[in-house]
Structure 1
Amino acid sequence: MLERKINKHNNFYYMTAALVVLLLSASLVRTVADGMLESILEGIIGVTFLVCVVSLGVDKSWKRFMQTLIVVWVAAILVKRFVVVPHLDLLMLVLMFAFFWGTFSSISKQILFSGSVNTNKVVGSIALFLLLGLQWALIYLLVLAFSPNAFTGIEQIPWGQNFSQMAYFSFVTLTTLGYGDISPNTPFAQVVVYMEAIAGVFYMAIVVASLVSAGLAQKETEQEH
């Protein structure tokens, strides 16, 4: 049913909506009991993965790669329910990062400096921005896992309980707002943070250049005909 509704003319609408729901849900589920929090968040992330895979159906190579990641992700969740495996949470963070990176790469090929500009592609550029922020949030969670004192304003607890806060910090950094309630506390964390700020500035420049050049090329083509 979902595959019938999603096509190349509206796929980025669904993907962007799924990412926005993920971010909103991550903040809302913090109000539930800690024991349920990670389970609910993992379920929401799983649905987001599914929507992303279906939305990228036109890119077969990335679709197979991400389907494999989803299978491993589900297997990791099941193992986590019955067996205590050291560092399994780290594996799940790496799997999430790999999935979002694969999605980001696939969307980039479809909308940056390619084809004509339409509303779907503009919405796709929003999805790219959200994916960029989510990837850095996962990087921060990994840094925090290895270095508990890497950030001030946030403590080392299970990643599901920190996901929303790290996503908040990531997007604040990506947009160079820098409120200061959470800040890097070690040299390595500081490098990671300012690299994201640089990435955010360059992303805006690249997207604007891409959409403008594609729009001009489209206009010239229409004039020729």
Structure 2
Amino acid sequence: MMFEKIANKIGKYTVLLISLLIALILYPALEQYKIGHICLTLWSLITMVAIVVSLNENKKTSKRIQLASGVLFLLIGTLLTRQVLGLSQEFLYHLILPFSFLFIAYIIWIILSSIFKRKSLGADELSGAIVSYLLLGIMWGLLYSYIEFISLNSFSFAAAHDIQAKGSALFYYSFVTLTTLGYGDILPISRFARMAAYLEAVTGVMYTAILVAGLVGHVGRHR
């Protein structure tokens, strides 16, 4: 498989990192166009396949990932079909957003567990840690989008946004919160939105602190 050949050369986590960075860079430019939404959905499917292939070290874990990704693949595939046909997609978000949140949380756990089980750490393992951090931002962005989707005006936006533009703005807000920058142009209004915001801020700080301590301890144990 092409992905496996590339992964063997530069590392599987490095490939995932490149894939995520491409998606994050292109998202603001493409999300305002219909064809852009279709391209982003296709890229999500490609990235999902890359995740499944890269996390196949443990048979039991691999089967769980394949099952979960299969369900998500079906949902996103249905979303893509309805996007192409110009049909309503709102009902699918009730399934895709929470399921994607749980799926990404599980993937983060698998990646970090795999990294700390290795006897030596290299550039690819560091890429894995960065991938997990980026996935955290995406994961919380999905949660914010779902909160806003089921409870309109849970967030206050500096400018008027339609439902699609709100999704893009909330992913931006997620990464701003994760890094504790807090520009103040988007504010959580509802109780659930505020709770999610402070939990993500704590997660971002704790992730970097625990990860650095864990990596230093891991290197020390395997010298």
- Common topology (TM > 0.5): yes
- Are 1:28 and 2:29 matched, yes or no? yes
Q: CA deviation at 1:187?
A: 2.1
1:72-105 Cα distance to aligned partner (Å, 9 max, x none): 3343345442775762122111232233122111
- Corresponding residue to 1:109 among 89, 113, 128: 113
Shift of 1:13: 0.4
Uncovered stretches (5+) of structure 2, i.e. residues with no partner? none
- Paired residues of 2:31 and 2:37 also in contact (CA < 8 A): no
Contact 2:145 2:167 in 1 (8 A): yes
Cα distance between partner residues in 1 of 2:106 and 2:122: 23
**Residue pairs, 1:79-98, within 5 angstroms:** 79-80=78-79, 81=82, 87-98=91-102
Contact 1:145 1:156 in 2 (8 A): no
User: What is the aligned counterpart of 1:184 among 172, 181, 188?
Assistant: 188
State the 1:114 CA deviation: 4.8
**Percentage identity across paired residues of the two chains:** 31
- Residue in 2 aligned with 1:222? none
Q: CA deviation at 1:162?
A: 3.5
* Structure with the larger RCO, 1 or 2 (CA within 8 Å, 6+ apart): 1
Aligned residue pair count: 216
Q: Residue 58 in 1 paired to residue 62 in 2?
A: no
TM-score (norm: length of structure 1): 0.85
Q: CA deviation at 1:217?
A: 1.6
| SS of structure 2 residue aligned to 1:183 | strand
Contact 2:45/2:76, CA 8 A, preserved across alignment: no
Matched, 1:40 2:44: no
| Contact map agreement 2:155 2:190 (CA 8 A) in 1 | yes
RMSD over equivalenced CA pairs, Å: 2.4
Equivalent of residue 130 in structure 1, options 117, 130, 134: 134
Letter in 2 for 1:202: M
Q: 1:9 to 1:41 in 2, by over 3 A?
A: closer
SS at match of 1:112: helix
Give the residue type in structure 2 aligned to 1:216: G
The answer to whether 1:164 aligns with 2:163 is no
CA contact (8 A) 1:148 1:155 kept: no
